Structure formats: structure tokens, C-alpha cells
Chains A and B, each alone.
Chain A
Amino acid sequence: MLGATYSLVAIGYTLIFGILNLLHFGHGEVFMIGAFIGLQMVLLTNCHIVIAILGSMVGAALLGLIIERVSFRPIKKEYHLAPLISTIGVSIILQEIGTRIFGGDIVGFPKTIRLVIYKIGPVQVTSVHLFILAFALMLMITIHLFIHRTKVGIAMRVTAENATNASLMGINTNRIVSMTFMISSALAGAAGVLVGLVYNAVSPFMGTEMILKGFTIMLLGGLGNVMGAMIGGIILGLMEVFSVAYLASSYKDAFAFGIMIMILIFRPTGLFGTRLHEE
């Protein structure tokens, strides 16, 4: 279940990485801010959780747009490290803003979904989990159709393949980059609320762990491969669940990052990887 939310974060990474060839360290904080926006909406207006998720997606998308304008576009791309460092800066700034506004404590989500426990054979599933899975899958299907069926989706893919050539097709690649940031951030915002629901915990530091998992999944699925990110997220989620069940819950993260190292050693192109640089 949780894997599906990982997928959402990883898709965002993958989209940004595919188009800009850049690891966006601030993405985890967009996820965190998204979680807080959803939480505040529920706390302040007592709205339905779906409305809160949509609100958080809009908020996160705007945040993504601002990040792109302020910390990417003005930076010279000739220096490969510069944009990367800039995203680390964004990450720290957002984390501190989060701490200042919302405090450093972990806050729980109020009860917004009636808790029902379903038993399917030996497996127990709660209504919260089902909701999260359904919502995450719906978003993934939407984004998949968007990327593969719409004109802007095609433009995103060709910009990822070669931005100069894309602009020679009449595509305003700056606009495509902005849109990519907005879409990726919206997905991260939704994932923030969903993860907040699962763990019943929202904190300014929740993004740090998520970003590393996002990297792992991106590697697992193959860099720049959206479908790989979807499946990779679910695989990582399942592995975590099994490691909790058969090992110990405190080893969960060690397990996840162990996988990352193994992939880097044995299959650097990822499970569904295509070679990125063909020329």
C-alpha cells in the first residue's frame, strides 16, 4: 500500500530527472509541505480528505513552480553541480520554514476516514490503506495517460530526450520544464497527505527519508523511466513490509538502502532500465 505513495514521489523525481538530468533534493520537502497543507486544511476547515489532497496538490504545484523559477531557471546549467547544490539549499530552507511554522513535533492526522478492517484470507487490510492505494493508483493512471496520450505529454518526453531539438520543433521548453515541476510537485503533495494518513504522522523532517527512498526507487526502476518508478515504488513498499514481518521493523530502512547499493553494483540501469545516453 505504502509502495504506491513511494511511487508517486519517485515519478516526480523521474520526470524532473528525465527532463533536466538533475536530482531534485528539494522534492522531499515539497512532499512534506504538501502533507502539512493537507493536514491544515483538515484541521482548519474540517473538509473531506479528498478535498484536502486536491488542495495540497495545488499548493505543492505552486511551490514547485516557485522552486523552478527561483532556484533552477536563473542558474547556469554549464556547471553541473550548481543546480544540484541549489536544490539542497531549497531543501534546507523549506525544512526550516516548515519547522518554524508548524513546529518540530510530529503531528497526527485527525480521523477523516472511518476505520474498517477487512480480512482477506490471512491478510488484514484497513479502509485507510485501501483508500490510499486507490487514490495513488488513480493518480498514476492519470499521469501515465497524460504523458502518453496528450500533446503536452509528448512534448515532455521529447524535451527529456533532447531539449534543443524539442525547441526546434516549436516547443517552448522553458514552459515544459515549469509544467514538469508543477506536475511532479503535485504528485509529491498528494503523496505527502497519503503518507501522513498511513503513519498518522506529519513532521517537517518527513521529507528527508522520503527523498532517499525516492532515489532508491528511481534507481530500481531505471533512471528517467516513469513506468519503472511506478513499479519500483510498489516493489520497495512490499519489501519493506516483508522485512518488517520477517526481520525487524528497525531494519526496514537499512533493507531499502541495501537494495539501492545492490542495484548500483549489479544492475546500474535498473530493473526496467534503458540506456540513457545512446549517442
Chain B
Amino acid sequence: MEPRNKQQLLNVEELTTGYAEIVAFREVNISVQHGEMVAIIGANGAGKTSLLRTITGVLRPKKGKIKFDGREIHNLPAYQIVQMGISWVQEGRAIFKRVTIEENLKVGAYHRDKKGMLSDMEITFERFPILKNRRSQLAGTLSGGEQQMLAIARALMSRPRLILLDEPSLGLAPLIVQDIYGIVSDLQSDGITILLVEQNASIALKTADRAYVMETGRIVMEGMTRDLMTDPRVQEAYLGGQR
């Protein structure tokens, strides 16, 4: 165990969370190593988003531990967890629609100094030219794909070490999904560790290095994505009809 732990950035141990009496997921173990892209696939309601809510400090776990870079974080408030370097790109984008695009990016870099924020803003605008042209417009005026880009760009503004991507393909046209996943692969090349949550198992397994399969609040399978892709159970339950 010990030597493996050294490279691990995120460690979720025997984690159980619920809302009041209802258990969202039970005894989940997940680890993500530095520089790795790990996917969690599973149907709607399997507990994937609840898991992300717990990692980011929005939900409190009932049992178990979450360690980030060796430090226990499951009792910290959400804003401190962000400051430690975990950034969550939420499902449905969750950008601030009533403030401008530029202000969304500024908020993303909230805990950083102004100089770093401004230089990163330039880098962001180079990467996403659409955002630059419309920087002073309200973010609510962007299209779905553009909002997803803004959400990712905003997450990057906090200089995260770990990015949690929640259903980045949801509700987007196939071509735009490809664009978004192109960006996601670039992020990994830049050295950012990624935990990806997707219902779209096919694209997630193609992009990530390793994956967990989640069903009704439990992790039922895990492995390298190339092995999972050829696993008959995964093929039948998650890749069926997509061939």
C-alpha cells in the first residue's frame, strides 16, 4: 500500500454519504494518481454526482475518509477545498449567468492574487477565443457548448491540481462534445489530473486512462479503460447500441 500511496493525489476510502435517511452511495473506494485521467461511469442516479458533491465539501460524508495529497479534507468547508486545488466543473455548467464572462473568470481565480489572475486570463482567452470576443457580455447569453467551455475555463483559473468534470457532454451536440473532449485531453497533457464523471460511457472510456463503474451507489468494477472496453459486461450494459 505505502509506495503506491505516494503518487496518489486523491484517495477516497470507504466513503458513505446520504441525504437524511437515504443513502446516495456506500463504501466507495477510489484513487486518482498524479497526472492521471480517471473516469466514473454509470447510469443516472448511480450516485456519481453525490460523490463529487462530497469530495468538494458540499455534502458531508456519513462514514469514510477523503484525502487530497495526503491531507484529510472531508471536514473542510467547500471554499477551503477549492483553495487547496480541487476544482469542480458541475453538471449543467453552473456558470453565473447574471454576471459577465470576464467576471465569471475572475471569480474562478478568487483566492489568487491579481497579477496571476490577469496573466491567466490572457492564457484563457488564447485558448478560448470565443470567450475573449464576448468577455463583457452576460454569461447567460452563451450557447450550451460555449457555457461548457466557460465552465472549464473558469475552473482552470483557480490553477487546480485536480479537476472534477461532471457530465461535460450532457445536452451538447456530438460535434461540440468532440471539441470539449479535445480540450479535456489537452488539459491532461498540461499535467492536470482529471476525475471525469460520465453517463456517456463510450466517450469516457475512449478518453480516460482508468475507470470505475458505479451502480446504485456502489463501485462494481474498476480497471484500465482498454480492458473495460472489451469486457462483455461493460459492453452489454454501457456500450450496447453504440457500436
Contacts and interface: CB of A to CB of B under 8 A. Distances in A.
A194 B99 CA distance: 33
A173 interface: yes
Nearest to A172: B79
Interface residues of A, number: 19
B158 A164 contact: no
Interface stretch (A150-158, A209-217, A248-256): A150-158
B59 to A, nearest CB: 10
Contact of A158 (B77, B78, B107): B107
A154 B99 contact: yes
22 contacts: A154-B99, A154-B103, A154-B107, A157-B96, A158-B107, A165-B90, A165-B94, A166-B107, A167-B57, A167-B58, A167-B78, A167-B79, A167-B82, A168-B88, A168-B90, A169-B158, A170-B79, A170-B82, A170-B158, A171-B79, A171-B110, A278-B140
Contact of A168 (B56, B103, B111, B140): B56
Main secondary structure of the interface of A (DSSP, over half): helix
Interface of B: 56-58, 77-79, 82-83, 88, 90, 94, 96-99, 103, 106-108, 110-111, 140, 154, 158
A30 B77 CA distance: 31
A151 B110 contact: yes
A161 interface: yes
Smallest CB-CB A-B distances: 5 pairs = A170-B82, A167-B78, A170-B111, A170-B110, A158-B96
A157 B103 CA distance: 10
A128 B207 CA distance: 70
A154 B157 CA distance: 15
A162 to B, nearest CB: 7
A171 B110 CA distance: 7
A278 B82 CA distance: 26
Given A157-B96, A168-B82, 18 more contacts: A151-B106, A151-B110, A154-B103, A158-B96, A158-B103, A161-B97, A161-B98, A162-B96, A164-B78, A167-B77, A168-B78, A168-B90, A169-B79, A169-B158, A170-B111, A171-B107, A172-B77, A278-B97
A157 B111 CA distance: 16
A276 B59 CA distance: 26
A158 B99 contact: yes
Interface of A: 151, 154-155, 157-158, 161-162, 164-173, 274, 278
B91 to A, nearest CB: 12
Contacts of A169: 79, 82, 107-108, 110, 154, 158
B110 A168 contact: no
A173 B108 CA distance: 14
Nearest to A165: B94
A150 to B, nearest CB: 10
A172 B110 CA distance: 10
Given A154-B107, A169-B82, A161 B158 contact: no
A278 B99 CA distance: 14
A155, A158, A162, A166, most chain B CB atoms within 10 A:
A158
A15 to B, nearest CB: 15
Nearest to A158: B96
Contacts of B82: 167-170
Given A161-B99, A173-B79, A154 B56 contact: no
Contacts of B106: 151, 154
Contacts of B77: 167, 172
Contacts of A274: 98
Given A154-B106, A154-B107, A158-B107, A168 B58 contact: yes
B72 to A, nearest CB: 19
Contact of A165 (B57, B96, B140): B96
